[in-house]
Amino acid sequence: MDDIPLSVLFGLLGTLLVLSAFFSGSETALMTVNRYRLRHLAKSGHRGASLASRLLERPDRLIGVILLGNNLVNIGASAIATIIGMRLYGDAGIAIATGLLTLLVLIFSEVTPKTLAALHPERIAFPASFVYWPMLRLLYPLVWLINLIANAVLRLIGVTPEDAAMHSLSSEELRTVVAETGAMIPQRHQRMLLSILDLEKATVEDIMVPRNEIVGLDLSDPIETIVDELSRSQHTRLPLFDGSVEELKGVVHLRRVISAATEGRLTHDTLLSLAREPYYIPESTPLNQQLLNFQNQKRRIGFVVDEYGDIQGLVTLEDILEEIVGEFTTDPATRMKNVYLDADGTYLVDGSVTVRSLNRTMGWKLPLGSARTLNGLILEQLEDIPKPGTTLQLRQYVLEIAQTKANAVKMVRIRPPGNASPA
Residue 245: count of CB within 10 angstroms of its CB: 19
C-alpha dist (Å) from residue 211 to 215, 305, 386: 9, 10, 22
3-state DSSP assignment of residue 404: strand
Instruction: Estimate to the nearest angstrom the gap between the alpha carbon of 418 and the chain centroid.
Output: 31
Sequence letter at residue 412:
V
Distance CA 62, CA 135 (A): 10
pLDDT at 2: 63
Distance CA 308, CA 392 (A): 35
Please list, in sequence order, all residues whose beta carbon lies within 8 angstroms of the beta carbon of residue 239, skipping any fewer than 6 positions away: 214, 215, 216, 217, 245, 248, 250, 251, 278, 303, 314
Residue 388: count of CB within 10 angstroms of its CB: 12
> Which pLDDT tens digits describe the chain residue by residue (423 residues)?
567 788 888 999 999 999 999 999 999 999 989 887 888 888 888 999 999 988 888 888 888 899 889 999 999 999 999 988 888 888 888 899 889 999 999 999 999 999 999 999 999 999 999 999 999 888 888 888 888 888 888 788 877 766 555 456 677 777 777 777 766 778 778 888 888 888 888 889 888 888 888 889 999 999 888 888 888 888 889 999 998 888 999 999 988 888 888 777 888 888 889 899 999 999 999 999 999 999 999 999 999 999 888 999 999 998 898 888 876 654 444 456 788 888 888 999 998 888 888 887 788 888 877 778 899 899 988 888 898 999 999 888 999 999 998 788 999 999 998 764 443
Please list, in sequence order, all residues whose beta carbon lies within 8 angstroms of the beta carbon of residue 90, skipping any fewer than 6 positions away: none
Q: Count H helices, E strands: the chain?
A: 18, 12
Number of Cα atoms under 13 Å in the Cβ half of residue 131: 14
pLDDT at 414: 93
Distance CA 235, CA 233 (A): 6
pLDDT at 305: 93
DSSP 283-298: TT-BHHHHHHHHHHHT
pLDDT at 17: 93
Distance CA 35, CA 52 (A): 10
Q: Is 20 exposed, middle or buried (0-12, 13-18, 19+ CB in 10 A)?
A: buried
pLDDT at 328: 61
Q: Is 199 exposed, middle or buried (0-12, 13-18, 19+ CB in 10 A)?
A: middle
Residue 264: count of CB within 10 angstroms of its CB: 7
Please list, in sequence order, all residues whose beta carbon lies within 8 angstroms of the beta carbon of residue 411, skipping any fewer than 6 positions away: 348, 349, 350, 351, 401, 402, 403
pLDDT at 186: 80
pLDDT at 344: 86
C-alpha dist (Å) from residue 37 to 163, 179, 229, 259: 20, 16, 56, 55
Name all domains of the chain by residue range, CATH numbers in brackets.
6-157 (no CATH), 169-201 (no CATH), 203-325 (3.10.580.10), 332-415 (3.30.465.10)
pLDDT at 163: 58
